[in-house]
Amino acid sequence: MTHTLHRRGNAQSLSEDYVFIMIQAMGHNTEGSTPKVQQFLRMALKHKPTNIGSVTRGGMMDKTDEVIANAEKIGHAVFDNPEAVSAFLSDLKQADLGLSVVVSGIFENVDKCIGKAGLKHHTANFSLGTYGKTEKLPPYEILEVATMCGHALIAANLVRAMVDDISKGRKTSEQAAKLLAPNCACGVFNIARAAKLLAEMAKK
C-alpha cells in the first residue's frame, strides 16, 4: 500500500502525475540501502523530475544536494510525463539496485511505461475512493492539489490562500506551487501539476 494512491483529478491531469518510491524492506535488505536510495535520487534527476524527496529531509527541487545527502530509508521522485517515467525505469532496471520500486499513476499509463522499459508488474494496488462523511471534505478542486501530499499535510485553506494570491497578482502559479511543496514531508508533491491546477482555479 502507498500513500500516493489517493490523488484526485481527471484523466488528463493525472496523466501528468507519476510518483516513484524506492524503499527497503525492514530486516531483509536494510543494510547498505542508504547509498542505493541516494543513487536512486541522483538517477532520477537525469530525467528532470518535478520534485524529489525523502522522509528524512522532505523534498524540493531547489535543494537537491541536501535532500540526497540526507536520504536514508526511502526515496521519492515525481514526474509529469510518461517518456521520463519509461526512461527512468530503464535506468533502474539496468542499475538493479535491489530495492523495491513503486510507481503510482493511472494504471494503464504506468503499465505502458513499464512495458517500454522491458519490465512487468509484480503487484498492483488500487484506491477504492473515500468513504464516510465525504460532505465534510473540501471541494474537489482543492482536493486535487491537497491530495498530492499523501499524509494530508497541505491544508485546504492554504491552497485557497495561494489561489487568492494568484488571482490578485501577488504570486505566479509556479511561485504558489513551490510554496505549497515543502509542506509535503515526503517530497511526492507534483509542483508542475499543482501550478496548472492553481492557475485554473484562479481564473474562476
Domain coordinates of the chain in residue numbers?
A: 11-116, 134-202
Q: Using one digit for the tens of pLDDT, what is the confidence trace for 143-154? A: 999 999 999 999
Nearest alpha-carbon partner for 61 in 77, 75, 72, 73 = 77
Instruction: Give the integer Cα–Cα distance in Å for 170 and 167.
Output: 8
What's the CA gap between 75 and 56, in Å, rounded? Answer: 9
Angle between helices 156-167 and 191-202 (to 10 degrees): 60
Q: Is the dihedral of CA 172, 52, 88, 110 positive or negative?
A: negative
* Residue from 38, 19, 6 nearest 188 by CA: 19
pLDDT at 71: 87
Q: Going residue by residue through the chain, which has 204 residues, state the pLDDT in tens, using 9 for 90 and above.
A: 578 999 999 999 999 999 999 987 777 777 778 999 999 999 999 999 999 998 776 667 678 888 888 888 889 999 999 999 999 999 999 999 989 899 999 999 999 999 999 999 888 898 888 899 999 999 999 999 999 999 999 999 999 999 999 999 999 999 999 999 999 988 999 999 999 999 999 998
CATH architecture of the domain formed by 11-116: 2-Layer Sandwich (3.30)
The answer to whether the beta carbons of residues 62 and 190 sit under 8 Å apart is no
**7-41, pLDDT tens digit by residue?**
999 999 999 999 999 987 777 777 778 999 999 99
